[in-house]
A and B are shown apart, each in its own frame.
Chain A
């Protein structure tokens, strides 16, 4: 076989051309990497303060073009329960980071009524700062097609049924979450 028979149509490409083309193709492939466009978040806490981070991050991920699912498990189920507004509370006991108007010892913050007082204070503080409510964040997440998945096992263990949860909430198990999480570059446990 003669040397001419193996010449390629782009034999005039220099090494620099090839390097540039490969670089561009790799960059383009990375931009299309599905892992960069997929996110999976676990929401495991059921207090008012901890309801914000998974919802804020899920919304932000959707805004930057990611397909996100949030897996609500254990106390995190509170966030997508129909009574989330009543269920999500904050307790100053054991939470030294919580800002209080005046310094209060645990003996005071442990008194009856303090949980609902602290919860009202936190809601007011957030709304004074124009931070969206949990309800608004859930509505926006749904509008952005964030998948809200309640952990079926904890739904059963806590004695709930599927009808106790907000419209649009899906139900799934740990394996269903993993199937999604393994494709996601971003996986968060909250």
Chain B
């Protein structure tokens, strides 16, 4: 389990590509740089999509884990450029 407390949680479980990254994008836009976003997904595509999405947007993937059938990603938002 993550020790980090998130500022926002995106529950994208059951959603399929591209909706987990769309939900993550909407949530990240509402956060300030440096805040923590936790994303939960069940789509196996999210395993490559969320890290790629984070990198493209300058967010830092702090943690990634699997809890049962859930994939959990903890992201620290980057500075918009």
Q: Chain A residues in contact with chain B, CB under 8 A?
A: 31-32, 56, 59-60, 62-65, 129-132, 136, 140, 143-144
Contact = CB atoms under 8 A, between A and B. Distances in A.
Given A31-B81, A32-B81, A63 B25 contact: yes
A118 to B, nearest CB: 21
Interface of B: 14-19, 21-22, 24-26, 49, 52-53, 56-57, 81
Nearest to B17: A56
A64 B19 contact: no
Contact of B57 (A59, A65, A129, A130): A65
A60 B14 contact: no
B16 A129 contact: yes
B17 to A, nearest CB: 7
Given A31-B81, A140-B22, A144-B22, A63 B53 contact: yes
A65 B49 CA distance: 14
Contacts of B21: 60, 63-64
A144 B15 contact: no
A63 B22 contact: yes
- The 6 nearest A-B residue pairs measured at CB: A64-B56, A63-B21, A60-B18, A63-B25, A131-B16, A59-B18
A59 B25 CA distance: 10
Contacts of B81: 31-32
Contacts of B25: 62-63, 144
A107 to B, nearest CB: 35
Contacts of B56: 64-65
Given A59-B18, A63-B21, 16 more contacts: A59-B22, A60-B17, A60-B21, A63-B22, A63-B24, A64-B52, A64-B53, A65-B56, A130-B14, A130-B15, A130-B16, A131-B16, A132-B16, A136-B19, A140-B22, A143-B26
B45 to A, nearest CB: 10
A63 B26 CA distance: 9
